[in-house]
Chain A
Amino acid sequence: MLDKRMSAAEIAAQIKDGMTVGIGGWGPRRKPMALVRELLRSDVKDLTVVAYGGADVGMLCAAGKVRKLVFAFVSLDAIPLEPWFRKSRESGALEVLELDEGMFQWGLKAAAFGLPFLPTRVGLGTDLAALGGLKTVQSPYDDGETLIAMPALKLDVALLHVNRSDRRGNVQVFGPDSYYDEWFAKAAAKTFVSCEELVDRMEDHYPEQARDNLFERCFVSGVIEMPGGAHPSSMPPHYGWDMKAFKAYAAAAKDPGDWSAVQDRFVGANEADYLNSIGGKEAVAALPLPIF
């Protein structure tokens, strides 16, 4: 039987210096943080990171892993300004492409469909196009409209955290919102998926939930079971975000704010150590879902 199971180290080893890595989720929600922590434990560098950013982006920036960031925001919601991202930006360390949230997913869709760009009105009348080097196209039809050509955001690798998968990469994604995870999967040459629960054959366990198969297994290159793998971000319906952990992480960015001195607290030597340090996966599972 097709078996895409991999270890976290094997997944991290697929990500080479200079690659473009898309990270699913949105701000403090549904982030593949366990896989991000694995990257932080590796020697990889010079990444181009493409994300609706939260602590994933903040940590990778703080650790000096990011050469270029493609983003529309980086935020922890209740802590609106992501402090480690902010420090990196204000130090001039990052090359950036700043995009509107909608243009961003449009670029993923262009990549998914193998198109060089998709046209949009979004960006006209703002500084985005001039600052980001985005060009315009003219409609060839009678309207002749001038539009921004949003370039494809082609990813070498996408990292996602989902609720369930089987060994073949048949995923099931629950929770109120899956954000743009399916488009990260389709925009990437390879997508690696961590999950709260891994089963051998989905059809033998949860056939009645096949509607929740957000994207097909041809878009999945590797899977790994990592319960609590989104911590400290939220993973509904399993657990909410860990605001205490986010606050500690944000506080650590204050002077001197040296990531190398604090990385161990927020990343750990390995994932088992990390989970132990926060009270185990049971403590993660007990985190209440956020209320808006």
Chain B
Amino acid sequence: MNQITTISTITLAELCIFAASEAFRGNGEVIATGVGPVPRLAAGLAKLTHSPELMMTDGEAYLVEQPVPIGPRAYDDRKPAGYLPFSRFFDSAVWTGRRHAMVTPTQLDRFGQINLSYMGGTYRQPKTQMLGVRGFPGNTIYHANSFFFPAHGPRVFVPGEVDMISGVGYNPAKRVAGGNYSGVDLKSIVTNLCVMDFGGENNAIRVVSLHPGVTFEDVQEATGFPLEKAPEITVTPLPDAEALAVIAALDPHDIRATVIKDNPPAVRA
């Protein structure tokens, strides 16, 4: 009875954090950067459970060995063990390939090309200006990247190609002769429906696990391009008690409850 009660209280966000933390397993001594609550909690969970060798920052300039909880807290709760400011981020982490970032771009296409610059219109006059490419062109040609999307749909997983290619994917038409693309390493895509990777034909995106109660057809319908299937599609595992405790400790204000619309349970009714 207790077991059932516990499972029914696990949220989809927690399942996603648990699934996303797997992307950081066995990466070695690299900077694990999670941008946004779910990716950041996933990186912290990975470091505190299966991959203590991961490195991470306090979100500002210092390296910490104890992941910093998210949300309001005292300024000096952070205990720096090292230093990695933006002023040497490219020298140390990005252009040396010693990083794995998990981020949420605005669009992603079948080649894994991503966009967070602008949508519609032109370079000179975009219809909708977003952030700008930030560090994505460099991140994607130099180090591992994974993605988290809280609302899997065709506006995110677009048909055709993204409006402005802000991050490198596996599109053969975008390779110039003599260019070195050996650092392009797109790993995992975690969404509110499933986990996918780039292990299909010519790095095609394929579904590797479905969250409880979700079908492949559900995922395909919410995706603007055809998906491949892993040889054996599994059910995304529920986080265990240890993982849930770590997640709760790293997110004492339950910010994770605000990430996915209506904060649904991990197991679909």
Chain A contacts to B: CB under 8 angstroms:
26, 53, 71-75, 80-81, 85-86, 89-92, 94-96, 98-103, 105-106, 121-128, 131, 136, 138, 144-147, 176-180, 182, 288-289, 291-292
Among B127, B168, B169, the one with the most A-chain Cβ atoms within 10 Å of its Cβ is B168
Report if B175 contacts A (CB, 8 A): yes
Chain B contacts to A: CB under 8 angstroms:
58-62, 68, 72-73, 75, 85-87, 89-90, 94-95, 113, 117-118, 121, 123-138, 140-142, 164-169, 171, 174-181, 183-184
What would 13 more interface pairs be, CB under 8 Å, given A74-B131, A126-B166? A26-B86, A81-B130, A86-B129, A90-B125, A92-B124, A101-B135, A102-B90, A105-B90, A125-B168, A126-B136, A145-B180, A291-B75, A292-B60
With beta carbons under 8 angstroms apart, the residue of A53, A96, A177 that contacts B86 is A177
* A234 nearest CB across to chain B (Å): 10
Contact B90 A146 (CB under 8 A): no
Q: Which residues of B contact A90 (CB under 8 A)?
A: 121, 125-129
* B85 nearest CB across to chain A (Å): 4
With beta carbons under 8 angstroms apart, the residue of A89, A123, A126, A128 that contacts B126 is A89
Residue on A nearest B170 in the bound complex, by CB: A125
Among A98, A101, A146, the one with the most B-chain Cβ atoms within 10 Å of its Cβ is A101
Contact B85 A91 (CB under 8 A): no
| Whole-angstrom CA separation of A124 from B129 in the bound complex | 22
Contact B168 A177 (CB under 8 A): no
Contact B75 A288 (CB under 8 A): yes
Residue on B nearest A97 in the bound complex, by CB: B123
Contact A126 B178 (CB under 8 A): no
* A219 nearest CB across to chain B (Å): 16
| Whole-angstrom CA separation of A86 from B137 in the bound complex | 21
Contact A128 B133 (CB under 8 A): yes
| Whole-angstrom CA separation of A89 from B68 in the bound complex | 36
Contact B165 A101 (CB under 8 A): no
* B45 nearest CB across to chain A (Å): 18
